[in-house]
Amino acid sequence: MKIADIRATTVTVPLEAPLLHASGAHWGRFVRTIVEVETDNGLVGLGEMGGGGESAELAFDGLKSYLIGHDPFELEALRFKIMNPTASLYNNRAQLHAAIEFGCLDLMGQELGVPVHTLLGGRLRDRVPFASYLFFRYANAETGEPEIRTADQLVEHARRLKEEHGFTSHKLKGGVYPPEYELGCYRALAGAFPEDTLRFDPNASFSVEEGIRFGLAIEDLKNDYYEDPTWGLNGMRRVREKVKMPLSTNTVVIDFEQLASNILNPAADVILLDTTFWGGIRPCVKAAGVCETFQLGVAVHSSGELGIQLATMLHLGAVLPNLSFSADAHYHHLQDDIIDGGMFEYEGGSIKVPDGPGLGVSLDRNKLDEYAQLYKELGGYPYDRDPGYPGRYALVPKQRFADPHKAIAPPIPTGQK
């Protein structure tokens, strides 16, 4: 079995409502590039990569000369073809490699008639638990989804997700409003769900001093961990020295060199393994083994997945003996998916691990075509800067709120969709 063709198709899939992100960015839809790796015996393996658009499609097209004729079972040779470490200055291709590796593992499973988790050593759990992953957001008149900008709105949204999906851990994406305001909202969550665990992620938007102050103010809560309060290994170390709870990261430990540095001089206690950022499922399994050796926690990170990447996250979560926490997923914010049979379903806050051959998912060609056309119509999105925000925190007065339920709600910029 040899690779005969590689096809990349960029799609955009709408979200229930536009999600506010750190430092003024926002998403109203996810842009993903779907990869099909076809072999000379007619099998097709599936991969997925975040964003990219036309540039991603061109990049995958450029890899064909390296990969046509390659045996999908030869994954270490594949890694060197795409991510040659001796040429790393000129060859930063982790996310491209991840999508191709997904496809090759899918092909291997189909060829052998076994799920990917079997190829990875066998599953230890049939279902992977997930956190609710909460965002401040704009309203969406088309879907009827309300805005979320106050503590009461946030708690009500979390309660609805808990009732619908069964989540018992709640993650709040911060870095949108001033730390003092988000602190009130986070504490309101803790008060509303005292039996559940929490995690807070400002996406490294805090200064070290802000990160320390916020961490000290939530130490008494039932936290899973405090994710990426500030940027850089040294900044994280400074926060970790002062705050008495586990720190986690998916921004400053995403390769083995960074992992080694973190072990020698700890900056994070929990490593969030992202099947895209780390360059594939197998690198995540290897990293989890290192973390097990050095007694670091691990969890599965989300980077805005559709069903193909979610399947990779499920297979990864199934095989990790040291999976310490529920996984992240943006998945419940999507309106639709491009996989056959409809969207994965949550039950009791978890999703069943696919047990079909390979990744256990296949493409819905009509959905792929529909959302590829939507991408052509809408293009990318203003990920890095929401034009409604003139600057981070600019629209909210910097004052400390004793009671978040009585706080003045931050305004939503006008002209947003």
Tell me if residue 412 falls in helix, strand or coil: coil
Apex 407 CA angle, 401 and 412, nearest 5: 120
Q: Are 108 and 119 in contact (CB under 8 A)?
A: yes
What single-letter amino acid sits at 65?
Answer: S
Question: CA torsion angle for 234, 236, 242, 245 (degrees, to 10)?
Answer: -150
Q: Which of 384, 416, 401 is nearest to 150 (CA)?
A: 401
Q: Is 301 a known active-site residue?
A: yes
Among residues 301, 330, 333, 367, the one annotated as catalytic is 301
Phi-psi region at 238: left, alpha or beta (left = phi > 0; alpha = psi -120 to 50) = alpha
Mutual orientation of helices 94-112 and 75-83 as an angle, nearest 10°?
160
Three-class DSSP labels, 142-162: CCCECCECCHHHHHHHHHHHH
What single-letter amino acid sits at 25?
Answer: A
Q: Which of 113, 152, 119, 115 is nearest to 136 (CA)?
A: 152
Specify the residue for token string 């009509």.
366
Among residues 173, 315, 330, 333, the one annotated as catalytic is 173
Going from the C-alpha of 260 to that of each of 86, 200, 307, the distances in angstroms are: 18, 25, 32
Going from the C-alpha of 283 to that of each of 120, 250, 275, 385, the distances in angstroms are: 11, 14, 8, 32
Gap between the Cα atoms of 211 and 203, Å rounded: 11
Alpha helix (H) residue ranges in 47-178: 54-67, 75-83, 94-112, 116-119, 151-165
How many Cβ atoms from other residues are within 10 Å of residue 158's Cβ?
21
Gap between the Cα atoms of 334 and 357, Å rounded: 26
Per-residue tokens: 40:
């000379």
Burial tier of 83 (Cβ tally within 10 Å: 0-12, 13-18, 19+)? buried
Tell me if residue 186 falls in helix, strand or coil: helix
Helix (H) / strand (E) element for 372: namely helix 365-378
Specify the residue for token string 């291997």.
108
**Which positions are annotated as active-site residues?**
173, 301
